[in-house]
Structure 1
Amino acid sequence: MTKLSVNINKIATLRNARGGNNPDVVKVALDCERFGAQGITVHPRPDERHIRYQDVLDLAKVVTTEFNIEGYPDARYMQLIREVKPAQATLVPDPPDAITSNTGWDTIENQFMLRDIVAELKEIGTRVSIFINPEAKYFEPAKLTGTDRVELYTEPYASHYHEDREKAVKPYVEVAQLAQELGLGLNAGHDLDLHNLAFLKKNIPYLDEVSIGHALVCDALYYGLENTIQMYRRQLEI
């Protein structure tokens, strides 16, 4: 079964636009769980333009599904993981000013740095996932870091899905098979939505988890949050 983790960054963006606490990020996370989400994802950035570090601490007290904290593994991120001890830490190579994650790790160049970080995170008791492009050359070096999982960066798939979905998914199927052979767990995320999710799952049936935020929150404006989460869950059950 592929789990649905809901990224609630956009909920925090909406709250921050007016100040105050509306919408309440913690309440939305709990409602997502109640509506069927099997995980909650956050990506706190240094400027706290959406999820704030205090949000992460508050969420850690109440989230009962898998709590996934994404981020660049600087000193502040590592301290946050040590304090919260989430179910999963997803390492992304974002610079501080990145609008959103737009590439995976070069696990060849950064293998030794990532190896040390992965070892530290696993000592804490947190599962580790490394954000990675769908290129075979990065997978064996990823395995050598000691990571538990890799997360496939799916923006290229989503961008080309409507042009030729078979061609768009082909590199993902190939590297997913490689990940299986290497014994790496497999997550996926970025620009997945109600149009392209089921086809990805059909072609990679052994996906462990997908993390979806922007599209899901946009869909919730039309369909309602509870209904939207159930719609995404059904895409993963096809």
Structure 2
Amino acid sequence: MNVKVIAFDADDTLWVNEPYFRRTEEKFCHLFSEFLSPHDIERELMKTEISNLGLYGYGIKGFMLSMIETALQITNGQISTDGIGKILTLGKALLNEPIELLEGVEEVLQAVHGKYRLVVATKGDLLDQERKLKKSNLTQYFHHIEVMSEKDDASYLKLLKHLDIQPHELLMVGNSLKSDVIPVLNIGGHAIHVPYHITWAHEMVENQVEHENFKSVTHIKEILSYLLL
């Protein structure tokens, strides 16, 4: 791969994220278990989250609002102010979770830093993602931080224009086939999939990816074997 820029996804590629959301969902389901089964509450929350993506985008704040809306629905509007307060407490705790780097991440960044331009390409709430990056102590490795409202073909083309590179000069590394791999391949870039053991249902795709610019590894350190160092 004759690439100039390596872009890394953030959540569940550089650091732990989805397990914190899953744990918060479990606590939310427990709060309102007198109204519905945990499975049904989880299903209703997912439906609400998906329907709200166009309004709130990705991130914890939108998740908090979706929890409140779901609670209103499953309680038929009878949720108490105490119940809303408990949801806000869950959301604030999620915002304050520690940043736990995934194994091998800093080793990889040290190996490629100075040899390629490194970029964070992530989606979510701008303030929250900036907070995570600052707490991660990884900012010194990155040339640019791009927080996207959605990871689609158009967003990656906009990133290419900003970086002043051609599609084949971009390598995207991430845990989501839907967000980190398929759009990049669509525009002519390279992508390496680093699966994480938990994936949000909205990020799952059924079809296998077959493309000459696509690689899949089991550990982030394996990407080094595909690079000129």
TM-score band w.r.t. shorter chain: 0.3 to 0.5
- TM (normalized to structure 2)? 0.36
User: Structure 1-normalised TM-score?
Assistant: 0.35
Higher share in helix: 2
Which has a greater percent of strand? Answer: 1
